[in-house]
Amino acid sequence: MPRFRQILDTMAPYTPGKAVAAPDGRSYKLSSNESPYDPLPSVVEAIAEGARNIHRYPDAGAVKLTEAVAERFGVPEAHVALGAGSVTVAQQLFETVSEPGAEVVYAWRSFEAYPLLADLAGVTSVRVPLAGEDHDLDAMAEVITDRTRMVFVCNPNNPTGTAIRRAALESFLDRVPETVLVVLDEAYREYVRDEDVPDGLTLYRDRPNVVVLRTFSKAYGLAGLRVGYMIAQEPVATAVRKTIIPFAVNSLAQVAAIASLAAEDELLDRVERVVKERTRVRETLIGQGWTVPHSEANFVWLRLGERTLDFAAECAKDGVAVRPFQPEGVRVSIGSPEANDAFLAAAARFRA
């Protein structure tokens, strides 16, 4: 037999959210944090027009998209790096700092791809348990050593939905050596409504080791096309761009992302509707007797312990797919009002 890397025998593959169906055929996928809305007509039109050119390779430098992102956020183009979804940009970051003995620090539980990316890059994961449902920033600062190359801070955190406020985050950044990258993973930034939760772009300009990571998959509704971006000081962005796979961001993803930025007002109106549904779902759950952390993302979190899989199975009876993290809890994406109502009915039945 061929010989493979030993780490492949021990690492767990990434498990995407799955769909389920009730006996009557109803199916509500609340397991993947996707937008519940169809693509905007203007975005579909841009994709259709772009399809006329798919016999050509995409622009390897994604120049027009880079220009659009830079203009939208008021940053130099040299500060922008793109990838096939923010998780791929995260992979590029891991590869950028990877070397024998290197360590990467992150909270746990947090985004489930972090351990996988660390293993594939050959770096050592240093997982710091959450304090309740929140990042324990003091504990994370204490485990940083001369072997630490990077720290991931998922804000808001996936899967708990909790967010770190400005004073706490700035205090933490002050404690991190300038030689250590701090990646602010802001995949859900558009759903944040707490004004005290800082926009990472207000922090990176004066901190050369701070990286802001975002995606077009959630609020912009382009999960199926895979396009994400990173904004950081030029030396960091330049290093990360060296690790990208050629033509990683395909031509349809590029035109769709540009069209989405052009239609941002319309898209963010949809985000506001999701936020209102998030509030309704959380308040209804609390009324049922659940303890639900305040979420700044497009999902809610229920800590269920050993009952996690039983709860997921109960939801599945009504065709509602949730994301179980056995034996901790379930993450439930905010979907359409109909999907949310189906979930709330299952939650009430389980609670009874």
HSE of 325, CA atoms in CB hemisphere, 13 A: 19
Q: Which residues is 107 bridged to in the sheet? A: 128
* pLDDT confidence of residue 237: 98
- Cβ of 129: how many Cβ atoms within 10 Å? 10
Signed CA dihedral, 42, 43, 44, 50: sign only = positive
* pLDDT confidence of residue 8: 87
Q: Which residues contact 352 (CB under 8 A, 6 or more apart)?
A: none
* pLDDT confidence of residue 12: 78
Contact 177, 310 (CB under 8 A): no
Spans of the chain, pLDDT less than 50? none
What percent of the chain is helix, strand and coil (3-state, nearest 5)?
45, 15, 40
Residue 263 gets which letter from DSSP?
T
* pLDDT confidence of residue 18: 87
* pLDDT confidence of residue 9: 86
Nearest to 124 by CA among 149, 107, 141: 149
Strands of 148-154's sheet, edge to edge? Answer: 80-83, 228-232, 210-215, 181-185, 148-154, 103-108, 124-129
Nearest to 14 by CA among 103, 85, 96: 85
* pLDDT confidence of residue 230: 98
**What is the enclosing helix (H) or strand (E) of 29?**
strand 28-29
* pLDDT confidence of residue 125: 97
Residue 222 gets which letter from DSSP?
-
